[in-house]
Amino acid sequence: MKSLIMRRIDRLLKQLNKKNSKPFNFIIGLFLLPLFTLYGLIEAFYLVFFGPYKSFQYIAKQNKKGAFKSSYQQHLEFKHKTRVFSASTVVIIIISVFTVNVVTGALNLNNIFPVFADTSFTVDNLGDASDANAGDGNCATAGAVCTLRAAIEEHNALGGTNTIDFSVSGTINVNSYIRIDSDNLMIDGGSNHDVVINGSGAAIGDHDCLYINNSSDNTIKGLVIQNCRYGIRISTALATGNIIQNNYIGTNTAGTSSVSNGTGISISGNSNIIGTDGDGVNDSNEGNLISGNTSIGIGGGGIGNTIAGNIIGPNISGTAI
């Protein structure tokens, strides 16, 4: 049988369903949160501490009447059952409080599990320093500037659909690979090919300049990538739907001479696009220039990858490098 307080709470919940008013729900939810919490604490305290004592009193009284032969043994059994019941009751009350307040709007899950809005990060520094506090939504190194590495680290920590663009031009000398671990990132170097990623300063074996690792639906466009073991590496079968367009990979910024990588682009994912997507919109500007690389222009494997509209081998004018 429900107690008076629980019957009143049920009545309030029925009123919530009838009202269907967000302000009303919010106010009632704020009222129910401390009420439910207090009720749960009182019940839990009573069951844990007074339940066994009351049971012992009751069993002792029955024993005097000859109802039980071993009051202490009965007490121990009842005490164990009471505590098990008490623990489960506390869990149920906590879940009930949480659920009621989420439903009524008094508790916003975003305050507990924050989800940042889609973000645009603007790289304003050509350094390679890491973000000072990845995941706070602010691309800033310890020196209070936004590097490409810091912006990608923010994206990896935040998730969501994010964009990285550049307010500076020049060469970014990376000290190790920059890994993209989260989906839905666009890196847009613009149309002038004046942002260069150079891996010549990285340690041998650690200079896969841009490394898409197990992530999907990322876009890299408008960059010049030089002196890397792999200019862009798309790794594992989980890396799907990535788009690589309008980059110069293995050349200078003019696209006329070689500044080689080992391999231009390495793919081991599925259903990625290297070059034009063939949708009839800006197709002529979507191809990559992939030339001057010492090993392979595009290599790897995977299923359903599209490689189209690229210049592979010669320079931007179509003549040998």
Q: If we measure between CA atoms, which residue out of 51, 36, 125, 132 comes closest to residue 85?
A: 51
CA–CA distance, 313 with 255 (Å, rounded to integer): 11
Q: Report d(CA 289, CA 273) in Å as an integer.
A: 14
CB-based contact 226:196 (threshold 8 Å): yes
- How sure is the predictor about 301, in pLDDT bands with cuts at 50, 70 and 90? confident
CA–CA distance, 284 with 149 (Å, rounded to integer): 30
Q: Model confidence over 123-180: pLDDT tens digits?
A: 999 999 999 999 999 999 999 999 999 999 999 999 999 999 999 999 999 999 999 9
Q: Kindly report, residue by residue over 5-55, the tens digit of the pLDDT.
A: 555 555 555 554 444 444 445 555 555 556 666 666 666 665 555 555 555
The CA-atom distances, in angstroms, between 252 and each of 28, 168, 176, 299 are 65, 18, 21, 21
**First-to-last CA distance in the chain?**
87
Task: Please report the pLDDT score of residue 207 as a whole number.
Answer: 67
This prediction's pTM: 0.66
Q: Which amino acid is it at 219?
A: T
What confidence score (pLDDT) does residue 201 get?
77
The whole-number pLDDT of residue 1 equals 47
Closest C-alpha among 158, 161, 184 to residue 240: 184
Domain ranges of the chain: 4-111, 169-313
User: What does the pLDDT look like over 211-254, one tens digit per residue?
Assistant: 999 999 999 999 999 999 999 999 989 999 999 999 999 999 99
> pLDDT of 64-121, one tens digit each?
555 544 555 655 555 555 555 556 566 666 666 666 555 555 555 544 555 555 789 9
